[in-house]
């Protein structure tokens, strides 16, 4: 375990089962042997490395028997494992974890929580095995933080069909998804609903947002919907209010806290490598006290973030998906991530802005983590609302 998670000085990983540890060991081996040599160039080229989805599918993130050893009767992987999976993936690369996250988190849970029993049976096993890929299409060009307040995409019912019109922005993985859960406002009732739009459907147009400075490996898309027809049978039956959408959002927001923690550890890993290779004034820069203070702060940030995440995971394992706790986790870990990557980037000097040294990738990617799944301010307002009983959103 020390070799697999050297930054885990609280020994939180001791709570993982042997099967989970073995799975994570295999994951690290795959990432280090196959993807380490290509990840920086993939980031520069803004391309998903070849074979990535297939490899993750084969590893069986949801289905590998290793993850169910000692969990008889449990249908889901443990939350502590979910934390360590996101941690391990993000420690390697935040884009790759985000790509898995939009499929396995927001996308998957739209079906799992939003689908009728028949819809769950029809789609969830294929999504779990990665036979079908999905994403999550909520944000719009004119509505980001206030998407609950103003969803412009509309759905008009005509008999057994719905006609969708509107646009979405920032949708991660939409261009590689088979099924796109599109959130739209019912023209008649004004209530939000969710519709399964299929890749290649008439009236669906997808273009990739170019020139991003963060998460370059993730293809984020603009989606245009012009009279797209969806059957009532492909409307996710249990999503009928923003509260229902919030359930999906809050189920995965903690995942961003997990991811931010892994990204801090990735920045630390890259920085530790650099300080033992770079000499100034005749010595490795790791010798200098001012450098060590920053390394210590980076480690302290990782440690406190890991402690917070493990407690969130424990609560979730007991079925408590607490809205305030997840907002606290997302808000503070994303903030600490920004601080941590900046310290690492500084320690790496000029080379810290060159992608080849890894730290630049974490430095840039932190900016996206800071913004998505609720910006710092929006999460603060969720927490503030709970603390004061006053909603700043009204």
Closer to ligand FAD by Cβ: residue 32 or 142: 142
- CA-wise closest residue to 98 among 43, 173, 42, 20: 173
Question: Distance between CA 300 and CA 366 in Å, rounded?
Answer: 18
CB of 206 to ligand FAD, least distance (A): 13
Closer to ligand FAD by Cβ: residue 100 or 378: 378
Strands 220-231 and 279-280, sheet pairing: unpaired
Closer to ligand FAD by Cβ: residue 275 or 337: 337
CB of 322 to ligand FAD, least distance (A): 20
The 3-state DSSP class for residue 270 equals helix
Which residue is closest to ligand FAD by CB?
144
CB of 183 to ligand FAD, least distance (A): 8
CB of 171 to ligand FAD, least distance (A): 5
Closer to ligand FAD by Cβ: residue 165 or 222: 222
Closer to ligand FAD by Cβ: residue 144 or 203: 144
Closer to ligand FAD by Cβ: residue 105 or 275: 105
Burial track 163-193 (b if 16+ CB lie within 10 A, e otherwise)? bbbbbbbbbbbbbbbbbbbbbbbbeeeeebb
CB of 68 to ligand FAD, least distance (A): 29
Burial track 278-314 (b if 16+ CB lie within 10 A, e otherwise)? beeeeeebbeeeebeebbeebbebbbbbbebbbebbe
CB of 185 to ligand FAD, least distance (A): 15
- CA-wise closest residue to 258 among 390, 88, 132: 88
Q: What is the DSSP string of 305-356?
A: HHHHHHHHHHHHHTT---HHHHHHHHHHHHHHHHHHHHHHHHHTGGGGGSGG
Closer to ligand FAD by Cβ: residue 45 or 149: 149
Question: Distance between CA 109 and CA 124 in Å, rounded?
Answer: 9
CB of 367 to ligand FAD, least distance (A): 8
Closer to ligand FAD by Cβ: residue 68 or 108: 108
CB of 89 to ligand FAD, least distance (A): 16
The 3-state DSSP class for residue 136 equals coil
Length, in residues, of the chain:
394
- In the complex, which residues of this chain contact ligand FAD (CB under 6 A)? 102, 135-139, 144-145, 170-172, 215, 220, 368, 371-372, 375, 377-378
- CA-wise closest residue to 219 among 38, 40, 48: 48
Q: What beta strand segments (E) does the chain contain? A: 154-158, 161-172, 179-186, 192-198, 204-208, 220-231, 279-280, 283-284
């Amino acid at each position: 375990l020390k070799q697999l998670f050297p930054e885990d000085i609280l020994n939180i990983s001791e709570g993982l089962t042997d099967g989970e540890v073995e799975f994570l060991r295999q994951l690290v081996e795959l990432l280090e042997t196959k993807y380490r040599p290509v990840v920086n160039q993939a980031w520069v080229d803004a391309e998903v490395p070849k074979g990535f989805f297939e490899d993750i599918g084969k590893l069986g993130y949801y289905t590998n028997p290793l993850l169910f050893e000692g969990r008889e009767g449990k249908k889901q992987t443990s939350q502590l494992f979910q934390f360590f999976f996101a941690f391990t993936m993000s420690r390697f690369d935040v884009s790759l974890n985000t790509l898995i996250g939009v499929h396995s988190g927001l996308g998957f849970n739209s079906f799992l929580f939003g689908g009728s029993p028949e819809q769950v049976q029809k789609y969830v096993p294929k999504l779990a095995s990665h036979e079908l890929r999905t994403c999550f299409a909520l944000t719009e060009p004119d509505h980001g933080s206030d998407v609950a307040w103003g969803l412009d995409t509309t759905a008009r019912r005509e008999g057994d069909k719905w006609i969708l019109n509107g646009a979405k922005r920032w949708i991660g993985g939409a261009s590689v998804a088979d099924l796109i859960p599109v959130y739209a406002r019912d023209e008649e009732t004004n209530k939000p609903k969710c519709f399964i739009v299929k890749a290649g459907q008439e009236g669906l147009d997808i273009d990739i947002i170019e020139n991003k400075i963060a998460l370059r490996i993730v293809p984020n898309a603009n989606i245009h919907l012009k009279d797209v027809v969806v059957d009532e049978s492909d409307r996710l039956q249990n999503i009928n209010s923003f509260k229902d959408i919030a359930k999906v959002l809050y189920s995965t927001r903690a995942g961003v806290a997990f991811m931010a923690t892994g990204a801090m550890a990735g920045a630390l890993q890259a920085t530790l490598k650099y300080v033992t290779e770079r000499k100034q004034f005749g010595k490795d820069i790791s010798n200098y006290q001012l450098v060590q203070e920053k390394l210590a702060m980076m480690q302290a940030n990782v440690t406190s973030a890991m402690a917070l995440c493990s407690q969130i995971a424990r609560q979730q394992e007991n079925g408590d998906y607490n809205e305030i706790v997840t907002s606290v986790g997302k808000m503070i870990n994303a903030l600490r991530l920004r601080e941590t990557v900046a310290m690492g980037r500084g320690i790496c000097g000029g080379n810290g802005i060159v992608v080849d040294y890894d730290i630049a990738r974490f430095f840039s990617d932190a900016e996206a983590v800071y913004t998505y799944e609720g910006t710092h301010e929006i999460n603060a307002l969720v927490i503030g609302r709970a603390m004061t009983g006053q909603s700043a959103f009204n």
